[in-house]
Structure 1
């Protein structure tokens, strides 16, 4: 009996010691450790089922509220450029520019030229693939002496993705409208559903047209190249200060004023002829009658 009581007291003493040790361990664990445990529990709850620790970080997905980042090859960018180049021969330079563009996989969208000995000018609208935009710009600039270059870009990635989503939604609406139209049982429902379906199809066609236009602008860049002859005045020549520029400006103003004056005279000439001839005839006839009525002077 004494051995049994001794063993029971030993067990009770061990249990009490274990409870005291657990209490001390709980007190020693501070709020930092408890917060860390809570964070790990939340992460484990948000992670997909069966995923190990650190899976959310390994997936590389952006957190909520972070901006979406696209790679350079995933972006939709519209490139536009305009440049002015002084060349020796405008015709040869324009032909060479067309060859450069067609060789890069593009085409000439517009061609305006003014001929002359030294004041010839050509304005070309060139459409080139976006990947060859910089190369074509450099080659066009190499045709002569570049005087002006203006390059602009427009990022339309978000607009393109928005159009894709709207087109997918509108296509689903069109399909649902067609199904409802096939199930119409009376004339009123048929007419109403046909009108709604036509409206949805028109909206879908408009969205698809915008998408095609945007795809065309991103696939083919636009370059406006102005080729000037040796004696042609460029767009920035008139803004240069100095005596020569003043003389040129005064001469142009004089020529413009004379042109306006001659225009006014030309407009008034028909009226002067139409009204002046009858008035002159009346005045001449009145003077002639007045002379006949005047008495003769007495003889000396």
Structure 2
């Protein structure tokens, strides 16, 4: 009993000392862990954007409001200078000398960096005209049209535009996809291990390459139309009549059309008759001669064969009886 009583106070003092040491150790470790967590949270917050993606910094005040989407990256460039537009135009000018004005129009196109795509001219005493197709760079389209109007007295001008921006973007996307398909087909073809797989992959690769070639041709055609604009130029002489694009209507227009159709039909009939006349002469004369000879022979045969007339037989003389 006495031994237990003496050891009791010593054990209590040892336990209190151990608790003090443990509490001191825990207090010193907690601030370091909190500081580590706080120091690690700042870089993590700095490296995340609103959507939680790494590596994207968010500028102060640039955060979107709740329910608002960021469409800046997906917004297309709608500026006019960034769009793909096809320019086409036509102009009619009355000039004193058609040949001289046609040469000047060709010079205007070549000076602007273009070329003459077509040239049709008609010259006579009553009327003279010329039709030219000019291809000029799109950037100089308006200036070339204005310069062509100075060749004489402008009588008609028509300018049209076609926006093919969406078609161009869609074609570029299809080209990228088709090129990727061709490349994958070539890789699969190089890895073919059997003859059946080789034949199947060659057929599929040929089809993909044909589709790619068609898309590339369409891309080149679209690029040509957008890079070079088309201008149809009509040059009229002093006495030439301007062609009317709008058709006439009404009774007089119908009468005029019917008369034109009658004249055209008569012309076709006479043409066919003129083509058949030599054959009728060559074949018809012998046929007519043969028919005439045949009928003449029949008449001669009928004349040669005569039938004697039927006469009653002579009656016997009466005999007298004694």
TM-score class, shorter: 0.5 to 0.7
Answering whether residue 88 of structure 2 is matched by residue 96 of structure 1, we say no
Is 2:135 the partner of 1:127?
yes
What is the DSSP-based 3-state SS (H/G/I as helix, E as strand, rest coil) of the residue aligned with 2:151?
coil
1:184 positional shift: 2.1
CA offsets, 1:65-123, max 9 Å, x none? x9745111110001111222211111111100000000000000111122323522211
Paired position in structure 2 for 1:231: 239
Tell me the SS of whatever aligns to 1:184: coil
Q: Which residue of 1 aligns with 2:216?
A: 208
**Residue-pair matches, total:** 247
Separation in structure 2 between the aligned mates of residue 79 and residue 63 of structure 1, nearest angstrom: 31
Q: Distance in 2 between matches of 1:115 and 1:237?
A: 22
| Partners of 2:50 and 2:63 within 8 A in 1 | no
Which of 178, 182, 191 is equivalent to 1:183? 191
Distance in 1 of aligned mates of 2:273 and 2:95 = 42
Q: Conserved in 2, the CA contact under 8 Å of 1:113 and 1:123?
A: yes
Contact 1:118–1:230 (8 Å) recurs in 2: no
Q: Supply the distance in 2 between the matched residues of 1:182 and 1:205 (Cα, whole angstroms).
A: 21
Aligned with residue 271 of structure 2, among 263, 268, 271 = 263
**Paired residue secondary structure (1:227):** strand
Q: Name the counterpart of 2:121.
A: 113
Question: Normalization by structure 1: what TM-score?
Answer: 0.66
**Residue 157 (structure 1) aligned with residue 165 (structure 2):** yes
Deviations 1:258-284 (A, max 9, x none): 645643552453465457646876898
Report the equivalent of 2:93. Answer: 85
Is contact 1:76-1:157 (8 Å) kept? yes
* Greater radius of gyration (CA): 2
8 Å contact 1:114–1:120 — kept in the other structure?
yes
Which residue does the alignment assign to 2:9?
Answer: none
Give SS of 1:162's match: helix
User: C-alpha separation between the residues in 2 aligned to 1:263 and 1:204?
Assistant: 51
Q: Distance in 1 between matches of 2:247 and 2:175?
A: 49
Structure with the greater relative contact order (CA < 8 A, sep ≥ 6): 1 or 2? 1
Instruction: Tell me the secondary structure at the aligned position of residue 192 of structure 2.
Output: coil
C-alpha distance in 2, partners of 1:283/1:191? Answer: 73
Unaligned runs of 5+ in 2: 1-48, 304-322
Aligned-CA RMSD value: 4.0
SS in 1 for 2:201: helix
SS of corresponding position for 1:137: helix
